[in-house]
Structure 1
Amino acid sequence: MPQFRSVDDHLRAVAELGQRYLASTTPTTEMCAVEQARGRVLATDIRARYPIPAFHNSAMDGFLVHYTDLTGDSTTLPVVADVPAGSAPRSPQPGEAVRIMTGAPIEVSGSVADTSLAVVPVEASDMPIGLSECPAEVCLQGTARAGQHIRAAGEDVHLEQTVLSAGTVVDAGVLATAISVGHSELEVYSVPTVAVLSTGDELRAPGEELGAGQIPDSNGPMLAALVAAAGADCIRVHCSSDTPAEFERTLGELSERADMIITSGGVSAGSFDVVKEVLSQHGVWFGAIAQQPGKPQGLGLVNSTLIACLPGNPVSVYASFHLYVAALIRLLRSRVHTPGQWDLPIVVATAGGHFPGDARRARFVPVCLERTGPVTATTVRAVPAHHRGLGSHLISSLAVADGLAIVPAGAGDRDDGDEIRVLCTRL
């Protein structure tokens, strides 16, 4: 009986391989215009060249006054200036008011908490909300406190503060933050190259006529799309022969061009499993993981290039990529290692059907996530993506799947209404 490696143990093996890779390679970086950096990974920490806010400013549309002028009922003050955002600051003398807009600068001597100035919102005045001429005087209701509705310079980010860490993926929020603290260029890691290698005489490119026993190569294009979505450049190659010599030659060429190679198929116990035959001689580990789908796996280094060898069935390939390969691509992109953890979010859902358990294997079932209820209290229901449940050959389930429902080994069945965790794959 073969020895099975648990899912957790295989994740640890992925982590250890990643550490070995980091120790043996030197990253390359480049400067990138901040507006072109979306999806790239920061290679250095980012420090603030400007504080945020850059100056004291108003948090409200209203009137800048000395709070001691307000009597508590209604106070009428002359309006001596109008200060929109982007203009120079103007301060009132005691007994005066300045109309001020959100974001407009305010001169404060010392701390905002100790100033005599305050902003009274327009809603607490006799002025209409919206466009209007600056009044000659204004009637203000109630009282105010020192520094009311005044944003202090640097209260969000102070000068030279580290606001972004190396390894951060640049998204819209990161981009806005980097620009706001004064950066027009960012140092980012070079985009890694991942080769997707399909093997097998039976495979034909999409659109080719199929002969007896031949099938379309869906794994190659699927993996190429997953690699691109994970933020890497892809080289896609089909090795059209099951002969070890041709596979070895193709492997050598790819290891010189790519940071990582992904293969699909040829890792089980068949007589023509050339991937396992050749790569075992390079010290690549092959074995069985206690999971369904995706039991046979291979993992290692070839000529200092990472290699992940996945099964041949498409659902197995899809699940294995999200469970193991995505973490390695993230490592190539960011040099930030997450040991033994999945990078994708996990949601707690309600089972929308029967999910059989297995005493020895974890099961990862493609599911659709259905959201019901009001937006503030949404219930998420996980429904099997295929009416037959789980099958490594049920390719059509991948077209609609939002994630992989997790049924841990030995945890028993999950039935309709039970709690079930789902690894989200559609982001």
Structure 2
Amino acid sequence: MSSAATRATGPDHLWSVDEHLEDILTTVRPLEPIELNLLDAQGCVLVEDVTVPVSLPPFDNSSMDGYAVRVADVAGASEEFPAVLDVVGDVAAGQADLLHVGPGQAARIMTGAPLPPGAETVVPVEWTDGGLGEGPVTGMRARSLAPEAAEGHVHVYRSAEARAHVRAMGSDVKAGDRALEAGTVLGPPQIGLLAAIGRGTVRVRPRPRVVVVSTGSELVQPDEQLGSGQIYDSNSFALTAAARDAGAIAYRVGAVADDAETLRSTIEDQLVRADLMVTTGGVSVGAYDVVKEALSHVGDEDEAGSGVEFRKLAMQPGKPQGFGSIGPDHTPLLALPGNPVSSYVSFELFVRPAIRTLMGLDDVHRPTTRATLTADNALTSPKGRRQFLRGTYTDGTVRPVGGAGSHLVAALAHADALIVVPEDVESVEPGTEVEVVLLG
């Protein structure tokens, strides 16, 4: 799982946030690329440049419903002296056999239809009488012309410049252009572009599958009745949602009771659908810390290099952490604390970058900025710990939300940033510039 240098630090080593994160990111590797259908590739990262095989648009076409004409035939046209042209037929979108527009002629054309040979420009139907001989077309009449109006004559009441209302071939992208670069995350616009240039499949790194397991005999599922000493399982819901927000396909496993064998069996069963395992709870020094009991020696039974190491980090919240790999495929596992704020902050700092690394992204971290602290009192922080406080960020300022307690779920729900207090700082006065991690 980790480098020999990392292992040499020993169980009593107090890890810094940066050391723990570096160990994770040097261990986790991007998933192998696969070929996926377009809709299955949504949210995935391209692994190769995509070149345009066919220009967009592939032919000159009309951007309006109207008439395809020659420029000279409508020069000087006005309502008083309209140009009168013979209508030779219709040109519809998708039509293969095109009419030829000669001198003194016009072809009724629909939006998206190819510009017929001989035509040089398009006059919108609103600039004509629609072939009805009743003056300029306006309002509903512009949208309800009868097909038979395409025969006979049309009066044009305005002149048009060459190629007016014509979408030129290749005006979007030209054949041979690079449509998308490797490293692009495929969202709806990118999927649409791939379809438009005729790509039905694309080579990507798949979205990682993340399995979230919460532990604790005291946990009850929402909508169930609480008993004495019980609480609702919120961590698994928050972390599963956070994994999906990070770009993963996430699976939530119901809370597992404080039994090491049950937990170990559950995790082993879930490995078949996991590129990354995340547990929450059971990683501190209590008598019922079943994650440590279940996984501390898993490397003794699996292939060489597997195992989960449990650590103490110089941070608040989230001091107890675990990281390693399990199973025959050395699936990465991050074990997070059980307190709600501790688990969520740990996810943002460590799990989210791991997910983004699996996806093959270059930038795996949340954006950070500097902001002026607005608070009623100075912030205090334990010496030697990097503290992450919840806050709300607005226009270059940040205000703390709630206290430092790792159980304050309501405060977390109203925060959109983390205020970072460095290890060597014990007090931060209002008006001080601080580092802020932006969560939204």
TM-score, with normalisation over the residues of structure 1?
0.71
Alpha-carbon distance between aligned partners in 2 of 1:127 and 1:419, rounded to the nearest angstrom? 65
Which residue identity does 1:117 align to in structure 2? Answer: E
Q: Which residue of structure 2 lines up, in the alignment, with residue 5 of structure 1?
A: 16
Equivalent of 1:392 in 403, 406, 414 = 406
Q: Which residue of structure 2 lines up, in the alignment, with residue 131 of structure 1?
A: 143
Question: Deviation per CA, 1:106-136, whole angstroms, max 9, x where unpaired?
Answer: 1469xxxxxx823344566673342254582
Q: Which residue of structure 2 lines up, in the alignment, with residue 374 of structure 1?
A: none
Alpha-carbon distance between aligned partners in 2 of 1:68 and 1:419, rounded to the nearest angstrom? 68
Change (3 A) 1:196 1:97: same
The question of whether the paired residues in 2 share the 8 Å contact of 1:220 and 1:236 is answered with: yes
In the alignment, is residue 118 of structure 1 matched against residue 121 of structure 2?
Answer: yes
In the alignment, is residue 308 of structure 1 matched against residue 334 of structure 2?
Answer: yes
The question of whether the paired residues in 2 share the 8 Å contact of 1:291 and 1:362 is answered with: yes
Change (3 A) 1:264 1:353: same
Which residue identity does 1:393 align to in structure 2? Answer: H
User: Following superposition of structure 1 onto structure 2, how do residues 66-145 of structure 1 map, counting pairs within 5 Å?
Assistant: 66-69=70-73, 71=75, 74=78, 76-81=83-88, 82-87=90-95, 89-107=98-116, 117-122=120-125, 127-129=136-138, 130-131=142-143, 133=145, 134=149, 136-141=153-158, 144=161
Equivalent of 2:277 in 257, 261, 271 = 261
User: Following superposition of structure 1 onto structure 2, how do residues 1-400 of structure 1 map, counting pairs within 5 Å?
Assistant: 3=14, 5-6=16-17, 10-18=20-28, 21-22=29-30, 26=32, 29=34, 31-32=36-37, 34=38, 38-39=42-43, 48=52, 50-69=54-73, 71=75, 74=78, 76-81=83-88, 82-87=90-95, 89-107=98-116, 117-122=120-125, 127-129=136-138, 130-131=142-143, 133=145, 134=149, 136-141=153-158, 144=161, 146-159=162-175, 162-164=178-180, 169-184=185-200, 192-206=208-222, 207=224, 209-212=226-229, 214-228=230-244, 230-234=247-251, 236=253, 238-241=255-258, 243=260, 251-255=267-271, 258-270=274-286, 272-276=288-292, 279=295, 282=299, 284-289=308-313, 291-303=315-327, 304-332=330-358, 334=359, 336-342=360-366, 361-365=386-390, 367=392, 388-398=402-412, 400=413
Gaps of at least 5 residues in structure 2 are 1-11, 129-134, 300-306
Gaps of at least 5 residues in structure 1 are 110-115, 371-378
> How much does 1:314 deviate?
0.6
In the alignment, is residue 423 of structure 1 matched against residue 435 of structure 2?
Answer: no
Which residue identity does 1:423 align to in structure 2? Answer: L
The question of whether the paired residues in 1 share the 8 Å contact of 2:67 and 2:124 is answered with: yes
Q: Highest CA radius of gyration, 1 or 2?
A: 2
Alpha-carbon distance between aligned partners in 1 of 2:64 and 2:407, rounded to the nearest angstrom? 60
> How much does 1:165 deviate?
5.4
Change (3 A) 1:362 1:321: same
The question of whether the paired residues in 1 share the 8 Å contact of 2:52 and 2:179 is answered with: yes
Change (3 A) 1:255 1:84: closer
Change (3 A) 1:71 1:353: farther
Alpha-carbon distance between aligned partners in 1 of 2:337 and 2:278, rounded to the nearest angstrom? 11
Secondary structure of 2:143's aligned partner = coil
Q: Which residue of structure 2 lines up, in the alignment, with residue 404 of structure 1?
A: 417
Question: Deviation per CA, 1:335-376, whole angstroms, max 9, x where unpaired?
Answer: x1335523xx77999988669656763524154x89xxxxxx
Which residue identity does 1:80 align to in structure 2? Answer: V
> How much does 1:250 deviate?
5.1
Alpha-carbon distance between aligned partners in 1 of 2:120 and 2:257, rounded to the nearest angstrom? 77
> How much does 1:208 deviate?
5.5
Q: Which residue of structure 2 lines up, in the alignment, with residue 113 of structure 1?
A: none
Alpha-carbon distance between aligned partners in 2 of 1:217 and 1:71, rounded to the nearest angstrom? 75
Question: Deviation per CA, 1:242-274, whole angstroms, max 9, x where unpaired?
Answer: 65x665555555446532211112333445545
Which residue identity does 1:177 align to in structure 2? Answer: L
> How much does 1:195 deviate?
2.7
> How much does 1:61 deviate?
3.7
The question of whether the paired residues in 2 share the 8 Å contact of 1:239 and 1:246 is answered with: yes
Alpha-carbon distance between aligned partners in 1 of 2:227 and 2:336, rounded to the nearest angstrom? 24
TM-score, with normalisation over the residues of structure 2?
0.69
Question: Deviation per CA, 1:218-239, whole angstroms, max 9, x where unpaired?
Answer: 3234333444554324251644
Secondary structure of 1:137's aligned partner = strand
The question of whether the paired residues in 1 share the 8 Å contact of 2:318 and 2:342 is answered with: yes
The question of whether the paired residues in 1 share the 8 Å contact of 2:35 and 2:201 is answered with: no
> How much does 1:104 deviate?
1.7
Question: Deviation per CA, 1:369-427, whole angstroms, max 9, x where unpaired?
Answer: 89xxxxxxxx799776x5x34432112234x43633444536945669x99856244xx
Alpha-carbon distance between aligned partners in 1 of 2:331 and 2:241, rounded to the nearest angstrom? 21
Alpha-carbon distance between aligned partners in 2 of 1:308 and 1:50, rounded to the nearest angstrom? 46
The question of whether the paired residues in 1 share the 8 Å contact of 2:341 and 2:406 is answered with: yes
Change (3 A) 1:311 1:158: same
